Every structure is written in structure tokens, then in C-alpha cells.
């Protein structure tokens, strides 16, 4: 049977096997053992070198070194005449009891085989040499012999000297190992913190899910904001329980597709905040593969806020539609108005003749009155539509000069309060003090505000509260018209400013009021936005640039 490499290395030590009579040989053995331990930087290596060397040097049947160290745990190694033994050489319970003895029993164990620390061997005698580390016994070098007379005083000296050397080397290597582990742990922690800092700095919401749908990464942008969830409340949990507000079937399908196909998938989503504002997101599902197996092990979800981009696209599309309506109005409105005027005039003339009694002999005079009324009302309704269309074809320059926006809002609220519309609507004014001026045409701005307020009242058929709110915000003025009405469905939010779009019943709205308001505010260099919660109400906000402070 080949001799293991560890044993071959120790056979070069000068101390002859089974012969401890030569003191100089003992010294050379200890010296060479000490030099060999200089290259052992791990406690396990020290245990292996010492137990192998002692087994060969004293011709023992078994030599084992066992130590229990803080921050490392139990290290053990044993050699018999065939080489290194497996891990079952030690009776663990007896070893633990031995460590607890005060003072521990050391030396010969030839009369009590039932207390032998080594198991599975046919030894007749054990010699136990304790390892003293930092003033405490932390283990032992245990040497077993099949014959009692194989152990003598010279061998005991060698064993004890090797034990002391082993204790010193194990202590040093344990400190070195602890320092290395501490450095590695510190480096890993620094790398983890740096990685988290990088992920937190990204201007996107990001989280990572493993194959068990557990969340393993959750960056800061994913935990802040109205849709955010704290990181500590998300890590380690099932993604479907964390994202309970989203449809579980839809979210599960998205993850399963990513794990199954391994392809990147991008999905555009829309969410509504508690204040009714609409957010648009581009959500990307990015599969991450295991380097060894090639299987998809995790899925990275990245959510990018594209609200500004989507609103800009909608604004461009809206502007194109308004321009098309303007071109249409410029070309045909006058041609439509002329026949409408003729129709209305003829209807009024016939009504006059009916009143004069010209058709009193006819059985259909009542029907004639009804039909003439319909013709005249529908002609005037068409006239109101064409009048609205003309607003798009006109250049809204007007008479623009610095205005007190507070006075415009008070005047608009007063006019609205005298309208005979809706049920019991309470009007409130919330105007900040010392508001800056805005450069605007007072008539056009009032037209826009009244149109928005009228729409708000129409949304509160059972009554409610209409609030006019004005405040300064950075370099602009914000005018809010807020109602407590029925709200706007999310699917209609992107269409409310489009011409001819209306949610009112047929005959009760042209769909041009909000579009005209949008055009007026845009021509003033401002912006008009809306946020809404169905069943709670809507808020239209006008933003206008500031021109100067009031005196």
C-alpha cells in the first residue's frame, strides 16, 4: 500500500521511528517539526503536520490532535500506520467530558479502555497531552499504542514538546485565520454596501426575485414615494405578498415568462397616486442566468418613471389635433355658419307666422311649432360648436399685461356662483397672500377658469364643494380648481383635453371646453394638468409663469 504524502514528508525527520534514546535526535526532530510548522497558516494544517509527524516518530498506532477554538470551532486530524484517518476516530462525548474536568486527566490511560478518547482502534494504552492555549486547555494530542511497552519516557518528552509547539502554532495560525476571515468579511461587507449604494443611486426602481419568488434585492427608489415599500419590509418575503396591490395573476405570469423564456420583456404600466395624479412606468423584466448551469436563477425588475416622456408625447399629439381642428375651422366654419343662419332665420320667420295665426286652420299646427323649435335649438347648438371651433383658428394674443391673479379668481368665482347650474354647491376660496403678478389677458384667463369651474359643477350633480386655490410655486403661479364630484376614469385621463371628447350626455356638451382651456393656457406659456380619483373628485391645475411681484 502506498504511503500517504503527509507521512512521506515526515519520514525525513531525523528522529528514528520507535527509538527515543538519542537526545540529539529528539532535538533535531523538534527543530525540524518547528520549521515545518512555520509554513502552516491554518490550524487544520498544523494539526495534520503534528499528528502525522508524531505518529511516525514514536511509532504509534494512532496519533490524533483535537482542538476547540473560538471563532473557528473544532479542528481535528488523526493518522494511523496507513495514513490519514476518516472523521470517526474520536469519541466526541468522552472528549467533551474530558475538557470539562478540573483538573483534566492527562498522561496514561491504560487501565480504563472504556474512557479512551479514540474509538475504532485496538489500542491498549493512550497518552493524552493537553493543548494549553491562552491559559486554557483547548484540546489534546492523543497517542495510542497497541502494546503497553511501546511508550517510554523519551517518547513522552517528544510528545509533550510537540504538543507545546502545536499549541503555539495553532494559536498563531488561529489569530492569522481570524484576521484573514475578518478582512474577507469586511471586504465583502464593503462590497455589499458599495453595490447597494450603486443600486440606490440609479434613477430607477429596481428589485430582484429568485426562483422561489423571494425578494433578494430592493433599491431605495423602489421603497420611496407613494408606491414605495420599505426595504426591510420587502427583503426575504414572497414578491406576491409584497406587491399585493397589483393583480397577482398578471405579476405571476410576467415572472414565469421571464424564468421560462429567458428573454427580456418590457411592459408599459400606469398607476394612480393617492392624490389622483397619474404615473407612467416602463417596467423591464431582465432574466439573470447562473454562470455554471445557464439556468435563469433570478429576475431583475427595473421600473423607469416615463411620466414626463408620455405627457410630452400626449402634448405633441394634442397640439397636432388642435392644429388640425384650427385648419378645419379656418376653412369651413364660415361656410357652415351661413346656411345655419339661414335655417335659424327661416325657423324664426315661420314661428312668427304661426303666432300671427296664418296656420290656425291646419291640424298640424302643434307639430309645426314643435318642429320649428327643434330646428331653431339645433341650429343654435351647431352655432355654438362652430364658435368653439373658431377659437382654435384665431391667434390668442389679446391684451396681455401684469395682472393680479387673485382678483381674476375672485371675479370668476363670483360669476360662477350666480349660474343656475347643479345642485347645492359650496364655493370656497383659498388664495395665498402677496401673490406675484402674471402676464396674461384677463378675459381669456377668466374664460378658461370659468370653463373649468363649470365642468366641475356639472360633475357634482348631487352637490359638493368647489374650491379655487391659488399659490406661488417656484417661478410660477398654480391655480387649482378642485371639485368633489364623480371623478374621471383612469382610461379617460389622457383624452380629456382632446377636442370633441366628452363624457356628458349627447346634447349636453360639445367636447370643446377643455380643449379651448388647454389652448388658452398653452398660448400664455403655461401648462394645464389634471389629477382625479373616481368617486372622490378631480383637480385641474393651471401653471402660469411669474412676471413680477405685486406692489
Q: What is the pLDDT of residue 551?
A: 37
Q: What is the pLDDT of residue 208?
A: 92
Given the C-alpha cell 454562470, which residue does it identify? 291
The whole-angstrom separation of Cα 444 and Cα 398 is 8
Give the number of other CB atoms < 10 A from CB of residue 133. 19
CA distances from 367 to 360, 372, 421, 467 (A): 12, 8, 30, 46
Q: What is the pLDDT of residue 7?
A: 38
Total residues found in the chain within this entry? 551
Q: Please, which contacts does 5-12 make with residues 24 or more away whose CB atoms are closer than 8 Å?
A: 6/48, 6/49, 6/52, 6/79, 6/83, 6/84, 7/52, 7/55, 7/56, 7/79, 7/83, 9/36, 9/52, 10/49, 10/52, 10/53, 10/56, 10/57, 11/56
Given the C-alpha cell 474509538, which residue does it identify? 119
The crossing angle, in degrees rounded to 10, of helices 43-57 and 153-201 is 160
Low-confidence residues of the chain, pLDDT below 50? 1-21, 549-551
The whole-angstrom separation of Cα 304 and Cα 231 is 18
Q: For the chain, give me the number of helices (H) and strands (E)?
A: 13, 18
Q: Are 31 and 110 in contact (CB under 8 A)?
A: no
What lies within 8 Å, CB to CB, of 180 at 6+ separation is none
The whole-angstrom separation of Cα 208 and Cα 17 is 62
Q: Give residue 221's Cα distance to chain centre.
A: 6
Cell for 353?
Answer: 307666422
Q: What is the pLDDT of residue 76?
A: 87
Given the C-alpha cell 434613477, which residue does it identify? 203
Burial letters 420-447, b for 16+ CB under 10 A, else e? eebeebeeeeebeeebbbbebbbebbbb
Q: Are 161 and 30 in contact (CB under 8 A)?
A: yes
Helix/strand/coil for 226: coil
Q: Backbone phi, then psi, for 441, in 5-degree steps?
A: -90, 115
The whole-angstrom separation of Cα 524 and Cα 130 is 93
The whole-angstrom separation of Cα 198 and Cα 206 is 11
Cell for 474?
Answer: 417656484
Q: Are 451 and 517 in contact (CB under 8 A)?
A: yes
Helix/strand/coil for 484: coil
Alpha-carbon radius of gyration of the chain: 46
Q: Are 255 and 299 in contact (CB under 8 A)?
A: yes
Amino acid at each position: 500500500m502506498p504511503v500517504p504524502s503527509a507521512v512521506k514528508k515526515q519520514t525525513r525527520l531525523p528522529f528514528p521511528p520507535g527509538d527515543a534514546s538519542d537526545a540529539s535526535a529528539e532535538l533535531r526532530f523538534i527543530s525540524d517539526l518547528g520549521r515545518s510548522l512555520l509554513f502552516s497558516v491554518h490550524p487544520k494544517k498544523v494539526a495534520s503536520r503534528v499528528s502525522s509527524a508524531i505518529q511516525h516518530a514514536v511509532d504509534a498506532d494512532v496519533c490524533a490532535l483535537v482542538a476547540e477554538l473560538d471563532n473557528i470551532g473544532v479542528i481535528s486530524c488523526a493518522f494511523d500506520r496507513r495514513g490519514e484517518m476518516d472523521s470517526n476516530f474520536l469519541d466526541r462525548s468522552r472528549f467533551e467530558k474530558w475538557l470539562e474536568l478540573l483538573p483534566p486527566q492527562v498522561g496514561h490511560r491504560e487501565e480504563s479502555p472504556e474512557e479512551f478518547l479514540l474509538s475504532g482502534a485496538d489500542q491498549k494504552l493512550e497518552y493524552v497531552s493537553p493543548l494549553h492555549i491562552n491559559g486554557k486547555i483547548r484540546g489534546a494530542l492523543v497517542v495510542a499504542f497497541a502494546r503497553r511497552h511501546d511508550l517510554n519516557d523519551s517518547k513522552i518528552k517528544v510528545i509533550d514538546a510537540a504538543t507545546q509547539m502545536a499549541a503555539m502554532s495553532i494559536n498563531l495560525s488561529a489569530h492569522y485565520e481570524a484576521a484573514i476571515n475578518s478582512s474577507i468579511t469586511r471586504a465583502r461587507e464593503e462590497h455589499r454596501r458599495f453595490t447597494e449604494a450603486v443600486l440606490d443611486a440609479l434613477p430607477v426602481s429596481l428589485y430582484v426575485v429568485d426562483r422561489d419568488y423571494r425578494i433578494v434585492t430592493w433599491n431605495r427608489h423602489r421603497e420611496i414615494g407613494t408606491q414605495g415599500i420599505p426595504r426591510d419590509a420587502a427583503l426575504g418575503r414572497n414578491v406576491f405578498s409584497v406587491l399585493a396591490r397589483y393583480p397577482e395573476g398578471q405579476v405571476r405570469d410576467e415572472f414565469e415568462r421571464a424564468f421560462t423564456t429567458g428573454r427580456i420583456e418590457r411592459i408599459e404600466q400606469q398607476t394612480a397616486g393617492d392624490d389622483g395624479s397619474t404615473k407612467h412606468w416602463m417596467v423591464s423584466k431582465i432574466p439573470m442566468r447562473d454562470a455554471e448551469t445557464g439556468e435563469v436563477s433570478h429576475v431583475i425588475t427595473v421600473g423607469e418613471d416615463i411620466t414626463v416622456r408620455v405627457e410630452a408625447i400626449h402634448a405633441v399629439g394634442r397640439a397636432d389635433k388642435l392644429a388640425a381642428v384650427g385648419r378645419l375651422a379656418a376653412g369651413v366654419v364660415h361656410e357652415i355658419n351661413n346656411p345655419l343662419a339661414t335655417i335659424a332665420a327661416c325657423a324664426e320667420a315661420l314661428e312668427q307666422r304661426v303666432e300671427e295665426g296664418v296656420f290656425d286652420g291646419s291640424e298640424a299646427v302643434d307639430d309645426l311649432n314643435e318642429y320649428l323649435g327643434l330646428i331653431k335649438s339645433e341650429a343654435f347648438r351647431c352655432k355654438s360648436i362652430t364658435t368653439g371651433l373658431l377659437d382654435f383658428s384665431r391667434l390668442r394674443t389679446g391684451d396681455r399685461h401684469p395682472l393680479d391673479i387673485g382678483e381674476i379668481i375672485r371675479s370668476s368665482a363670483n360669476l360662477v356662483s350666480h349660474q343656475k347650474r347643479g345642485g347645492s354647491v359650496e364655493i370656497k376660496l383659498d388664495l395665498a397672500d402677496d401673490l406675484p403678478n402674471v402676464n396674461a389677458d384677463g378675459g381669456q384667463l377668466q374664460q378658461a377658469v370659468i370653463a373649468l369651474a363649470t365642468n366641475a359643477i356639472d360633475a357634482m350633480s348631487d352637490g359638493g364643494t368647489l374650491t379655487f386655490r391659488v399659490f406661488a410655486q417656484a417661478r410660477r403661479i398654480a391655480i387649482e380648481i378642485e371639485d368633489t364630484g364623480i371623478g374621471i376614469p383612469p382610461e379617460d385621463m389622457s383624452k380629456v383635453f382632446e377636442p370633441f371628447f366628452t363624457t356628458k350626455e349627447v346634447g349636453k356638451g360639445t367636447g370643446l371646453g377643455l380643449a379651448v382651456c388647454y389652448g388658452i393656457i398653452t398660448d400664455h406659456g403655461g401648462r394645464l394638468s389634471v389629477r382625479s380619483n373616481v368617486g372622490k373628485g378631480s383637480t385641474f391645475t393651471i401653471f402660469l409663469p411669474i412676471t413680477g411681484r405685486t406692489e
